[in-house]
Structure 1
Amino acid sequence: MRNKVTPKRTRVPRAARLALREMRGRVAHRQRYRLVSQGWQYVGAMAIIGFAAWHSGTNLVYLVFSAMVAAFVGHGFIVGISLMGLDVRRGLPHHAVAETPVSIGVTLTNRRWFLPSYGVRLTDFLANAKPVGAAFFFRVDTKSSSETHYTMTFPLRGVYKLDRLEVASRFPFGMVERYFLVSQPQELVVFPQIVEVTEWLSRLQSYQGDLAAHQKGTGLDLFGIRSYNEGEHARRIHWKSTARTQRLMVMEFDREEQPKTTIILRNLVTADLRNDPDVVRDFEIAIVAAASLATQICKSNKEVSLLTSQGIIEAGSGSEHLNRILHALARLELVTTAKRWPSDAIDRKSIVEVRFRDWQPGEGSLADVELDARDLEIRSGKMLRRPGLVEAPPPNPTSSKRRAA
């Protein structure tokens, strides 16, 4: 008796099995139908014609009914082919700004070697299934890609999680919509709204001026007088001292230092206030005020730092430093526990404190300029005082000097 030969089975790598399983899952869930209002009207008319054909037995009515059925079935078949072999990709910007339109790009690729795709609509959804925008592709040729974008305005700052994309088409007759979903989770950080804070910025600038660091430099204020060194410019000679001492004396000047600003926003609250609607509203206004001040200060090429109950962003300037501050403010939340600030964290030269609540035990104002969000409102892109409020007095420069001393 001849031995039975068992064919040797080739083991498929695990990665290939997972890829095949994912591909089968995509194909199985790719075909979804949605009967639109025009389709329901067509089905109703088709039912009436079919009933008339059955009731009358007229061949002509049967012919009309058959043509309607053929068009309906053919439409479902054509729209299915139109969506085969399509890939979609979303392109997010680095960040967005609340209340400012942002453009989000989408790319649709047709991998088929026959038949272009027509009338493809793409809808973008958040993680909570809320649509955020849509784009339309009139035609995507075979073996090619088409790019477009949609514009979205986010009402609030924060981190928005974009989840899935829906690719749909009703081509050619618009009776049946066929679609498929593509999971493409991404996060978009939305910076706080930037508004005009002219009043508080002018108060800050009038308080600051150009502060001298009392170190030798190239400023305008006199630092001292010393003996002349060979090679120094004659413009620096102090002739009065030269005549008195009978030897050449030159002037030294203070170094002019761009003032550093520290913005303080204490986001520490008690547990009972964390979900209070009024506190949350005032907190959002405070964040907008802090972000707007930081933006204006950085645009003036001056250094600014941010202190919150969750951490510190050291002093710096420029667009990258501003993005770090706005990124932190976009993610800032109300907390019930706070981190302790280092003893040297507060720049005594210029402090702006943005408040949205009463002082808690152990706290006190450190500010040269203070903004209370409870007294402010945002209107027409500007930070304004609420009607009926009296303007706060300008800061007293001597108070900061006493603190620094």
Structure 2
Amino acid sequence: MRKYSRASKSRSDGVPGESGEGGDRRIFPLSFSVTAAGGLYILLLLPLSLAAIRTGNNLLVIVLAAMLAAVPVSGLVSLASLKRLSLSLEMPENVFAGERVALKVAVKNRKRVLASFSLRVEERGTPGAPPLLRRLRAALPRHRKRDGAAGTPDGLMDRPAYFPVVGPGESRTALVLRSFPRRGRYTLHGFRVSTRFPFGLFERARLARAEGEVFVYPSPRSISPFFHLLPFLPGALESARPGPGENLRSIRRYREGESARIIDWKATAKTLRLMAREYAREEESRFCLILDTRAHAPRTAAGGEAFEKAVSMAAGIASHFIEEGTAIAFLSPAAYLAPGGDARHLDRILRELAVIAQDEAPAAETVGPWEPGAFRDAAPLPELEGIFSDKHYKIILTPRPRGTFPAAVWRSAHVIFFDQL
């Protein structure tokens, strides 16, 4: 079962800071628009008014009065439906790009007597604009990022949630299916709750400020069986240095003062000298996943696609080996995460991969040999020296061309070039 966490919570009583302190206290809602049915209704009122005035027919006057009375009644009833509502949005804890997830939109009616009818909850768009104008403005590139309307790249809700009725004191929940096309940080810009109740002639809406964000992780790419052959084994690795361990390294002369437990009596009997067993030191496995984001050529569509594949590959490698219980560190030119092997550490790595971006290539650059100094802004120098020593085994994903890695790197690393993906 998927776990959910609350992304944001808000009330529809107003937008603090936009209409004075304490929120909007005006009688009328923040936005008002006429629906298509309302437009036809108003057009019908015009000839009916002329006919009632010119003929003086009592029946026409009564019908006209009833139709005119429906306008303020519609406004008051819809206004009452939008009063004292609490809104919240819950997201799954882990969301991956391309995965279809369900967002939980909850509405609580805090009124004691009156119910709320025909509520439509969507992500906040352009305040006060009619629905048609909001859609036209959202289609313009220069308004997309600023407005944060539903369906924009950085929004959470791409479609509204509908609640037919919410009784007094009740809470209702609706599911909105959403598929995030790409990784990144998706921001909630607030809620817009509207209603066309009771006659569907006019739409009234209120804005509710809410802040929240969700990190959409890159979709982990399945790794090839070759990675199972790499020395990614949890536990200890045999060192070339002598020390405490279980694997026999050599038989040597016994030194005075050493423990009698290491004496090899068979070798002593053969050589007629005290001989001792020397074991290989066991050291804890240390592994590091390195994602090189420095571009070495002008950015192209193919290069951007290769970078996204590399990010997905990094997510797949981290997920696979942490699931097998191997502690692993993560390093990029912008971030460093110390070794860890639990689910929280995997979340931290995936969060870094969700927002990581490829650096722009300089106008004129000569691709030199691989230098660990490019990562000095991400990790302290002692950490870098340990990572790039032979004690750490490294998987390096890089856009660098072949032939730029010295032989010393290959002794303790596996390099994946972007053009291989």
Alpha carbons of 1:339 and 1:224: their partners in 2 closer, same or farther (altered >3 Å)?
closer
1:334, CA displacement in angstroms?
2.5
Alpha carbons of 1:41 and 1:196: their partners in 2 closer, same or farther (altered >3 Å)?
farther
Does residue 322 of structure 2 align to residue 322 of structure 1?
A: no
Does the CA-based 8 Å contact 2:288-2:393 persist in structure 1? yes
For 1:306, the equivalent position in structure 2 comes to 330
Deviations 1:341-372 (A, max 9, x none): 62222364532221335369x76584543333
For 2:303, the equivalent position in structure 1 comes to 279
Deviations 1:123-155 (A, max 9, x none): 124864221423222332223433444332221
1:30, CA displacement in angstroms?
3.7
Does the CA-based 8 Å contact 2:30-2:207 persist in structure 1? no
For 2:386, the equivalent position in structure 1 comes to 344
Number of residue pairs matched by the alignment: 348
1:105 and 1:127 map into 2 onto residues whose CA distance is 25
Does the CA-based 8 Å contact 1:216-1:223 persist in structure 2? no
1:307 and 1:95 map into 2 onto residues whose CA distance is 22
For 1:169, the equivalent position in structure 2 comes to 195
Alpha carbons of 1:162 and 1:177: their partners in 2 closer, same or farther (altered >3 Å)?
same
- Cα RMSD (Å) of the superposition? 4.0
For 2:176, the equivalent position in structure 1 comes to 150
> What is the TM-score when the length of structure 2 is the normalising length?
0.68
Does the CA-based 8 Å contact 2:18-2:24 persist in structure 1? no
Gaps in structure 2 of 5+ consecutive residues: 1-16, 125-144, 151-155, 363-373
State how 1:224-263 maps to structure 2 within 5 Å. Answer: 259-263=285-289
Gaps in structure 1 of 5+ consecutive residues: 1-17, 233-237, 377-405
Q: How much identity, in percent, do the aligned residues show? A: 25
Alpha carbons of 1:63 and 1:160: their partners in 2 closer, same or farther (altered >3 Å)?
same
Does the CA-based 8 Å contact 1:262-1:347 persist in structure 2? no
1:196, CA displacement in angstroms?
1.5
Alpha carbons of 1:94 and 1:28: their partners in 2 closer, same or farther (altered >3 Å)?
farther
Out of 103-112 and 24-33, give the one that drifted further.
Answer: 24-33
For 2:185, the equivalent position in structure 1 comes to 159
1:209 and 1:23 map into 2 onto residues whose CA distance is 58
Alpha carbons of 1:23 and 1:55: their partners in 2 closer, same or farther (altered >3 Å)?
same
For 1:381, the equivalent position in structure 2 comes to none
Alpha carbons of 1:26 and 1:181: their partners in 2 closer, same or farther (altered >3 Å)?
farther
Deviations 1:286-319 (A, max 9, x none): 1111111111111111122222122322222111
Alpha carbons of 1:213 and 1:303: their partners in 2 closer, same or farther (altered >3 Å)?
farther
2:270 and 2:406 map into 1 onto residues whose CA distance is 53
2:46 and 2:244 map into 1 onto residues whose CA distance is 92
| Match of residue 135, structure 1, among 161, 166, 175 | 161
Alpha carbons of 1:60 and 1:240: their partners in 2 closer, same or farther (altered >3 Å)?
farther
For 2:9, the equivalent position in structure 1 comes to none
Does the CA-based 8 Å contact 2:184-2:216 persist in structure 1? yes
State how 1:94-243 maps to structure 2 within 5 Å. Answer: 94-125=93-124, 128-131=147-150, 132-133=156-157, 134-197=160-223, 199=224, 202-208=225-231, 210=233, 211-213=237-239, 222=248
Secondary structure at the counterpart of residue 279 of structure 1: helix
1:375, CA displacement in angstroms?
4.1
Matched letter for residue 311 of structure 1: A
Secondary structure at the counterpart of residue 198 of structure 2: coil
Secondary structure at the counterpart of residue 312 of structure 2: helix
Alpha carbons of 1:141 and 1:223: their partners in 2 closer, same or farther (altered >3 Å)?
farther
1:281, CA displacement in angstroms?
2.7
Matched letter for residue 43 of structure 2: G
1:55 and 1:334 map into 2 onto residues whose CA distance is 74
Secondary structure at the counterpart of residue 25 of structure 1: coil
Matched letter for residue 150 of structure 1: V
Does the CA-based 8 Å contact 2:318-2:328 persist in structure 1? yes
For 1:373, the equivalent position in structure 2 comes to 418
1:356 and 1:295 map into 2 onto residues whose CA distance is 22
For 1:356, the equivalent position in structure 2 comes to 399
Matched letter for residue 83 of structure 1: L
Does the CA-based 8 Å contact 1:208-1:259 persist in structure 2? no
1:32, CA displacement in angstroms?
1.8
Larger RCO (CA within 8 A; separation ≥ 6): 2
State how 1:10-29 maps to structure 2 within 5 Å. Answer: 21-23=20-22, 25-27=24-26
Secondary structure at the counterpart of residue 302 of structure 1: coil
2:232 and 2:387 map into 1 onto residues whose CA distance is 22
For 2:356, the equivalent position in structure 1 comes to 332
Alpha carbons of 1:48 and 1:373: their partners in 2 closer, same or farther (altered >3 Å)?
farther
